Amino acid sequence: MADDSEALKKQILNARKKHQKLNIVGGGTKGFMGRTADSDAEALSLAEHTGIVEYHPVELIMTARAGTPISVIETILAEEGQCLHFEPPRFGDASTLGGTLACNLSGPARPWSGSVRDQVLGIRLLNGKGEHLRFGGQVMKNVAGYDVSRLQAGAMGTLGAITEISLKVMPIPASSMTLVEEMPIEDVIRYMNQRAGESKPITGAAWVDGKVYLRLSGAKSAVEATAEKWTGEVMEQGEEFWQQLQHMQHDFFAGDEPLWRFSVGSTAANPELDGPWLIDWAGSQRWYRGEADMAQIETMAQRAGGQVSLFRGGDRSDEVMHHQPQALQTIQKRLKESFDPDGIFNPGRLYSWL
């Protein structure tokens, strides 16, 4: 529970002087994501920068230092009957709030509860000049110009070291139930979209190993009434299933084969690739395991109205994120220059050219 921002600032100023690159890390639970870290970069550790700065359960707002483990935050929230509605995936107990925002990771409830990006109200950030800046605020209604806080979602630390995050928290749903039934992949996209389109308390829709899983959460009466109307068996271990999916602990995610993440239109036909698939977010997030050519797989994702990234495994010295058009590359380079003029943070981690 300590404020380490002065030490972090000092290390950044020193690095700038010495032209030393910095790799923002801690437990490194998400070291497998992005491109391989620059081996010449020195670690800028958020390990000591932890603790809850403010928590107002009545206002549903929490501010925490970026190195605070997600597990610690969730325990404190649970004591007040609250949670992080974006269901952050954790790849170990060391997973932090900063790393979760930097990697823009959200769990199965994402289409209904929003992403981590949507829950962020404000941040503090150490930029490449060692300036400790504050963006956004700590209130829900926040119209303070361009939203730099949300820009950090998915930047993978390339714009600076996030030191503090204010975010919305939500009550834990009163009741939850999971319905499961067998369904071939050819039918499941239409089915999940149809269910998601009904005004029912749905908070999860996934297809795993030939079965479709729907989660209902909210008031007990609404959950039970919907379960009676819809098809599918009530699953006893429903919560366990969603947690396994959230933290990518299902057998599908085990093994060495490259893991591709498609972020596509929810109603799009599945890309024609032979091999195992797992579908989440009512069709918007699709996981594929297998060897594939990046250029070819990108074309498939674009046809499905979205993008693809090499999430885990494969060649991580080449590009792993979906190719960006020239105009977007120019904007991203300008943003990088204004936050980190000497390019010291996480060189090449997101794209080879950034």
For ligand FAD, the binding residues (CB under 6 A) are 24-31, 34, 46-47, 50, 66-67, 69, 94-96, 98-100, 102-103, 156-157, 161-162, 346, 349
* Between 95 and 309, CB nearer to ligand FAD: 95
- The encoded tokens of residue 268 equal 């799009």
Between 72 and 222, whose beta carbon lies closer to ligand FAD?
72
> Least distance (Å) from ligand FAD to the CB of residue 350?
8
Least separation in angstroms between residue 25's CB and ligand FAD is: 4
| C-alpha to C-alpha distance for 278 and 222, rounded to whole angstroms | 28
Q: Report, in Å, the least distance between residue 352 CB and ligand FAD.
A: 15
* Residue number, 36 or 175, with CB nearest to ligand FAD: 36
Work out how close the CB of 349 gets to ligand FAD at its nearest, in angstroms, rounded to a whole number. 5
Q: Which is nearer to ligand FAD, 100 or 226 (CB)?
A: 100
Instruction: Determine what percent of the chain falls in helix, strand and coil, rounding each to the nearest 5.
Output: 30, 25, 45
Nearest distance in Å: CB 142, ligand FAD? 20
Per-position DSSP letters for 195-236, written without gaps between them: HHTSSS-EEEEEEETTEEEEEEEESHHHHHHHHHHS-SEEPT
Single out the residue of 173, 154, 176 nearest to residue 81, CA to CA.
Answer: 173
Cα 339 to chain center, whole Å?
Answer: 22
Residue 114: both structure tokens together? 């929003």
* Nearer residue to ligand FAD within complex by CB, 3 or 181: 3
At residue 288's C-alpha, the angle toward residues 285 and 294, to 5°, is: 100
Residue nearest to ligand FAD (CB): 26
Q: Name the one residue in this structure whose structure tokens are 């590359």.
A: 329
Identity of the residue, 241 or 351, whose beta carbon is nearer to ligand FAD in the bound complex = 351
Kindly tell me which of 31 and 265 has the beta carbon lying closer to ligand FAD.
31
Judged by CB, which is closer to ligand FAD: 15, or 188? Answer: 15
**C-alpha closest to that of 246 among 67, 55, 34, 71:** 71
What's the rounded Cα separation, in Å, for the pair 203 and 110? Answer: 8
Residue labelled with tokens 């977007």 = 328
Pull the structure tokens for residue 117.
């990006």
Which token pair is 52? 């809850």
Determine contact, residues 44/75, Cβ cutoff 8 Å. no
Q: CB of 23: closest distance to ligand FAD in angstroms?
A: 6
Least distance (Å) from ligand FAD to the CB of residue 197?
Answer: 35
Q: How far is the CB of 99 from ligand FAD (least distance, A)?
A: 2
Which helix (H) or strand (E) segment holds residue 188: the answer is helix 185-196
CA distance 246 to 354: 30
